[in-house]
Amino acid sequence: MDEIQLIKECKQNNQESMEELISKYKYLVRRIARRYFLIGSEQDDLLQEGMVGLYKAILSYDENINASFYAFASLCIDSQIKTAVKKANRLKNMALNQSFSTNCLNEEDDESEFLLISSVLSPEEKIISEEECKYIKKQINDKLTDKQKVILKLFLRGLTYKEISEMVDCNKKYVDNTLRQLRKKLSYLKD
């Protein structure tokens, strides 16, 4: 069966055709994934991202464009892996390696850890991070108002500005302004 026919069948949810195409292009995923490295994960994670790219290529390929499926799939696989690498390396994801626990704002909770320390850190870096963490926790408790602490805690739990504003009984703009001020204060404390 030719490739275009397989792709058409895949778009009609034919599982056998999908498996055949994935099997046929698995080598391409491996070849592209070998070019990249993702800190804190294994090569299998990149292969999985590449397979997602291949799957997307199969479902979105248009035979009317002037490109072979191979070329289109290569671009989709490469793009998917690059996106995963960029996403993992963004500064906002550094919080996964070193992040503040939302429990840190609860003064009664002495057992809570304020900083989740990455296993990538050396013992010296862990000690320094723990000391920085204690300092930042003290500054948060000393310098932030109770309302600011609550807003920060709710934000760290993943609530939206609207949800926070309803819980704290204020408008969304107040929440936005408060979080902007807190970002400045906290970034200053960490430097």
Residue owning tokens 């000391």: 131
**How confident is the prediction along the chain (191 residues), in pLDDT tens digits per residue?**
688 899 899 899 999 999 999 999 999 999 998 888 766 667 788 899 999 999 999 999 988 887 889 999 999 999 999 988 888 766 544 444 444 444 444 444 433 333 333 444 556 666 766 776 677 777 777 878 888 888 888 887 778 888 898 988 899 899 888 888 887 766 655 44
Q: What is the pLDDT of residues 93-110, one digit of tens each?
A: 444 444 444 444 444 443
Check: CB of residue 7 under 8 Å from CB of residue 58. Answer: yes
Domain ranges in the chain are: 3-89, 94-190
The DSSP output letter for 99 is E
State the CB neighbour count (10 A cutoff) for residue 37: 10
For the domain made up of 3-89, give the CATH fold.
Answer: Rna Polymerase Sigma Factor; Chain: A (1.10.1740)
